[in-house]
Amino acid sequence: MPQKLIAQGAEAKLFLEGNKIIKNRFPKSYRIKEIDEKLRGFRTRREAKILQKLQAINFPAPKLLKNDERENLIIENIGGKLVKEVLENSDYKKLCSEIGKKIAILHNNSIIHGDLTTSNMILNKQIYFIDFGLSFFSEKPEDKAVDLHLLKEGLESKHYKIWEACFKSALDAYRKEAKRSKDILKRLEVVEKRGRYRAKRGS
């Protein structure tokens, strides 16, 4: 079956083959070969570990089908539409409430997504989270707060007309579901102040 290139980022290419997606972390010529191989292998294994954990807790994310532990992951292709494309023409408060609840499930299981944007979420009866290439395990409120801050930034830049209502719905749901949500949301305020201070200095 022929492979079709469907996306390319800084770290990986995605190929569609039937109902599977092949994620290939391609070599970087500017890195020393041994370091490049080590890094790609580490990131491939870490993402595989995250996907296995998600499957174990029955979280809506692509299933891992195969892992070569070097540079290729074969994962399930989830049909549906990117949340980015449908959010503004839907019941966005309800969808964002679902997003907040699902982020809480990730955080309750010590999983930090690392790239929470509506481009990394697919709507197919329910919301699926995709692209765990930057994900890692952490218990720290700081890491969870940064994850939420990334969601806020993503909503603000891609859905500027509705982002405030969206983020409020997501946070309200997160607050109810997440363990230690009080600590995390307090930390979020610190993260946001830090961001504003940097922006002020840069202007």
Active site residues: 115
Phi, psi of 11 (to 5 degrees): -105, -25
Strand 126-129 to 121-124 pairing: antiparallel
Helix (H, G, I), strand (E, B) or coil at 133: coil
Q: CA dist 85 to 41, 49, 82, 120, 153, Å?
A: 33, 29, 5, 11, 17
Q: What single DSSP character describes residue 118?
A: G
Contacts of 71 (CB under 8 A, 6+ apart): 24, 25, 26, 27, 40, 41, 44
C-alpha–C-alpha distance, residues 12 and 168, integer Å:
33
CA dihedral for 124, 128, 133, 134, sign (positive or negative): positive
CA dihedral 137, 37, 115, 145 (to 10 degrees): 40
